Amino acid sequence: MGELRVPTMAELAAKGQQPDVLFWVGCAGSFDDRAKKITKALVKILNKCDVNFAVLGAEESCTGDPAKRAGNEFLFQMQAMMNIQVLDGYEIKKIVTACPHCFNTLKNEYPGLGGKYEVIHHTQLIQDLFDSGKLTVEGGTFKGKKITFHDPCYLGRANGVYEAPREILSKLDAELVEMKRCKAKGLCCGAGGAQMFKEAEKGDKEINVERTEEALKTNPNIIATGCPFCNTMMTDGVKNFNKENDVQVLDIAEMIANAADL
Amino acid sequence: MTISNIIFIIVFLGALAFFGFKVKQIIANIKLGKAENRFDRKSERLKTMLRVALGQSKMRARPIAAILHMFIYVAFMITQIELIEIIIDGATGSHRIFQPMLGGLYTFTISLIEVLSLLALVATIAFLSRRNLIKLPRFVKSEMNGWPKLDGNIILYLEFVLVICIFTMNGADEVLHVRSGHESYGFAISSWMGPMFFGGMETTTLIILERVGWWGHIIMVLTFLCYLPFSKHLHIIWAFPNTYFSKLRPMGQFTNMESVTNEVKLMMDPNADPYAVPAVDPDAVPQKFGAKDVEDLSWVNILNAYTCTECGRCTSECPANITGKKLSPRKIMMDVRDRAEEVGAGKRKEGDKFNDGKSLLGDFITEEEIWACTSCNACVQACPVNIDPLEIIMDLRRYLVMEESKMPSELATMNTNIENNQAPWQFSPSDRFKWKDEA
Ligand code: SF4
Ligand code: SF4
């Protein structure tokens, strides 16, 4: 696969063009080394399917989600209004993002501040690509593997998206095994509500260890996620059990990109 | 009218008046909270109420508890029909006034009540053993020590005595009825159980027993009514308005604080004069961001607290609680109710100047608890009556951060990073698009 084609909004606007969808990369997807791989995997899928998309590049800014969940509504709304100015400036109509936190905030909390867009999670976009026949995969390396999917809270419970990730995974000829606590009852990885950025309060266990333990009980080859923060938490959890050689933690976009030989 | 009719009427009206008085107080306590519009989307709200409160849809997540609970719930609902008869009989001195009017339907209804009462008895015994013998983890958490534990048991004892009274009443009556030359009432259980237990007894004893059962029944019901306002059992009524007024937005959608929006808009408006003196309303109460005490919460939050049945489903799904943190969403709800009771009582006594130097945040709920929350919504999902502990936790955080600048130091750093670098980490904003060119 050659160069990634990642046009920015500024470039498109200069040419008088408009993308069909804006890819909101998010802070993790832009800066976190592990999450950057997810970003690139998604770009490969978008490129392969010739999706007319663009990113904001350096014009993107934190949605303000972690500030809001940490109680700093001022900072959240400052960020939101700044972002809405940029998005509206480019007349954005539709946004896709690989981060459930960005997804939730853009979709649910921006409209009240004037930012009204159609917002979808990348698993929903990938499902659309499959449904419209633009994307096909064979099981490839995933054939016969055991995969368990960890529901990100802000995708699942918060927004009721349970099926898109599972339907995509079902394309991989793999065996999908559910954890005891899944879908609406899924247990948090421990990162939400700005916990990602602080030490946990005193307790007798880390939440990500509790969750990973549950995932490992299904004896998976792969723990699949759809959130960069869940990914970090589960990866750390797997290391905690010294299982990093046996169990991979992968984003659904990475798995699809891999299966499609991208 | 006999003396017993008069006593009945006095006891009955007295209990009703007391209940009404307490309910009025509770409504006043709920109104301590701030206004919030939950009066929109009426048909959706009605549907939610019918599904979640009447249909108990969220109980299904735990099928055994759901079935046992359903026995007590249905028995309770259907028994209300018999209660109407008891009230008429009690006030007028009639005996089973509906029987001649309804005939077969009467036999059927009372039979149904008997069967359900027996099932309720089974459920009551199961529930008592869950709390006291099996000690199900969610019933023995620290916030359940003392009164909450006793409250849970008292209700079950009352229920137990109530069912025994019903069978004593019907059983003794059955034997008396037949002895006086009538045909059997033909009720499903008492028609054979009555003769079995009471068949050998003297008629005078039976008359007393029947009266003991009758009075015991109605007195239990009235005791229950007067006890409700002090108990977690208030949920049998409050579950209805609570589900009706529950949040219809996606769970992940938190409120955008309007007070903040106004200020942010002013800050970002290039035409706004930063030195302009805002028009000050001399009567305006200074704006407080977030919640420190119950009066800063929304009325819906306080309604939630009075509805909480302390079942602990929320806490048993809470990732923070599961991993040994102090946070328990059930405790948050219990604290809000306790504090609302305290503030409400204080205000009734001392008026608006009431100040006991205490507050919800600090004296009831600690900072350690609220910072342990991952905002995962598991508690909201688990609650059978659509209570939202997370909203309260968020409002307490908002107060701490925006009014007192108190937060874990890493979060202060995170905020600074977002302000300066537009990301929660300390990266340069100009590097945001570097990922594209990295191998
Ligand atoms: S939202 Fe907070 S309180 Fe509720 S279950 Fe999740 S961590 Fe616990
Ligand atoms: S908040 Fe809901 S789930 Fe939690 S204890 Fe109260 S009633 Fe039960």
In this predicted structure, what is the pLDDT of residue B269?
A: 77
Beta bridge partners of A94: A118
Of A39-48, B244-253, B275-284, B343-352, the least confident = B275-284
In this predicted structure, the answer to whether residue B289 has a pLDDT above a threshold of 60 is: yes
Contacts for B19 with CB less than 8 Å, ≥ 6 apart: B225, B226, B228, B229
Q: Residue B16 Cα, ligand 1 centroid: separation in angstroms? A: 39
Residues B154-189 have pLDDT tens digits of 999 999 999 999 999 999 999 999 999 999 999 999
List, for residues B333-344, the tens digit of each pLDDT value: 999 999 999 999
Residue B405 has pLDDT above 70, yes or no: yes
Q: For residue B377, list chain A residues with Cβ-Cβ distance below 8 A.
A: 153, 157-158
Q: For chain B, what percent of residues have pLDDT higher than 70? A: 96
Residue B265, both tokens: 């808009």
Distances (CA, A) of B367 to B42, B291, B323, B408: 37, 13, 18, 10
B378–A153 CB contact, under 8 Å: yes
pLDDT of residue A83: 97
Ligand 2 near B90 CB (within 6 A): no
pLDDT higher than threshold 80 for residue A1: no
* pLDDT for B92: 93
For residue A137, give every residue at least 6 positions away whose Cβ sits within 8 Å of its Cβ, in sequence order, or none.
A171, A172, A256, A259, A260
Determine the pLDDT at residue B270: 73
The DSSP output letter for B132 is H
With tokens 């084609």, the residue in question is: A5
The answer to whether the Cβ–Cβ distance between A204 and B323 falls below 8 Å is yes
Kindly state if the Cβ of B333 falls inside 6 Å of ligand 2.
yes
CATH architecture of the domain covering A9-127: 3-Layer(aba) Sandwich (3.40)
pLDDT tens-place string over residues A14-46: 999 999 999 999 999 999 999 999 999 999 999
Q: How far is B32 from chain A (nearest CA, A)?
A: 23
Is there a contact between A201 and B320 if contact means CB atoms under 8 Å apart? yes
Q: Ligand 1 centroid to B181 CA: how many Å?
A: 65
pLDDT score, position B285 = 59
Distance from CA of B24 to the nearest CA of A (A): 34
Q: Which pLDDT belongs to residue A85?
A: 96
List of E strands, chain A: 21-24, 53-54, 94-97, 118-121, 146-149, 175-176, 222-225, 248-251
For residue B314 and ligand 2, the question of a CB distance below 6 A is answered with yes
CB contact under 8 A, A66 and B414: yes
Average pLDDT for B87-94: 93
For residue B89, give the amino acid letter: D
Give the closest residue (by CA) to ligand 1 atom 6: B376
Whether the pLDDT of residue A49 is over 90: the answer is yes
Residue B134: CB partners within 8 Å, gap ≥ 6?
none
Q: Estimate the share of chain B in helix, then strand, then coil, as percent rounded to the nearest 5.
A: 70, 0, 30
Instruction: Concatenate the DSSP letters of all residues of A175-228 into one string.
Output: EE---SS-GGGPPP-S-TTTGGGSPPPS-SS-HHHHHHHHHHTT--SEEEES-H
Query: Quick one: which of B42, B34, B76 has its CA closest to B303?
Result: B34
Whole-number pLDDT of residue B321: 98
* Residue A185 pLDDT: 96
Asked if the Cβ–Cβ distance from B407 to A210 is below 8 Å, we say: no
Q: What's the pLDDT tens digit per position in B15-39?
A: 999 999 999 999 999 999 999 999 9
* Res B68: pLDDT: 95
Instruction: Tell if the CB–CB gap between A39 and B398 is shorter than 8 Å.
Output: no
Q: How far apart are CA B151 and CA B60, in angstroms?
A: 24
Q: Tell me the per-residue pLDDT of B329-383, one tens digit each, with 9 for 90 and over.
A: 999 999 999 999 999 999 999 999 999 999 999 999 999 999 999 999 999 999 9
Determine the Cα–Cα distance for residues B242 and B222; give it in Å rounded to an integer: 24
Nearest atom in ligand 1 to the alpha carbon of residue B378 is 5
Position B275 pLDDT exceeds 70: no
- List pLDDT tens digits, range A127-142: 999 999 999 998 778 9
Could you tell me which residues are beta bridge partners of residue A249?
A223
Please give the distance, rounded to the nearest whole angstrom, from the Cα atom of residue B314 to the centre of ligand 2: 5
Q: How far does residue B323's CA lie from ligand 1's centre (Å)?
A: 12
CATH number of A137-259: 3.40.50
Other CB atoms within 10 A of residue A170 CB: 12
Instruction: Identify whether the C-beta of residue A75 lies closer than 8 Å to the C-beta of residue A44.
Output: no
Pocket test for ligand 1, best of B316, B327, B383, B397 (most atoms within 8 A of CB): B327
Q: What is the mean pLDDT of residues B318-332?
A: 98
- ipTM here: 0.95
pLDDT score at B284: 60
A9-127 and A137-259 agree in CATH topology: yes
Domain B288-421 classified CATH 1.10.10? Answer: no
Domain boundaries, chain A: 9-127, 137-259
What pLDDT score does B77 carry?
A: 86
Task: Say how many Å lie between the CA of residue B384 and the centre of ligand 2.
Answer: 7
Backbone phi and psi for residue B63, each to the nearest 5 degrees, phi listed first = -60, -40
* Residue B266 confidence (pLDDT): 84
- Considering only CB atoms, which chain B residues are within 8 Å of A200? 323, 325, 372
Which residues have C-beta within 8 Å of that of residue B280, sequence separation ≥ 6? none
SS3 A55: strand
Best of B304, B328, B375 for a ligand 1 pocket test (most atoms within 8 Å of beta carbon): B375
3-state secondary structure B177-220: HHHCCCCCCCCCCHHHHHHHHHCCCCHHHHHHHHHHHHHHHHHH
Closest residue, chain B, to A41 (C-alpha): B436
Residues of B in contact with A2 (CB under 8 A): none
Report pLDDT for B273: 65
pLDDT of residue B438 exceeding 90, the answer is no
pLDDT tens-digit series, residues A57-97: 999 999 999 999 999 999 999 999 999 999 999 999 999 99
Domain ranges (residues) in chain B: 3-30+62-244, 288-421
Provide the pLDDT for residue A213.
97
Tell me what the pLDDT averaged over chain B comes to. 94
Q: Where are the alpha helices (DSSP H) in B257-408?
A: 258-268, 299-307, 313-317, 319-322, 329-350, 367-371, 378-382, 389-404
CA distances from A248 to A37, A81, A131, A150, B439 (A): 14, 39, 27, 13, 21
Whole-number Cα distances in Å, B202 to B112, B184, B198: 29, 18, 9
State pTM to two decimals: 0.94
Are B419 and A75 a contacting pair at CB < 8 A?
A: yes
Residues in CB range of A7: below 8 A, 6 or more apart: A19, A53, A54, A55
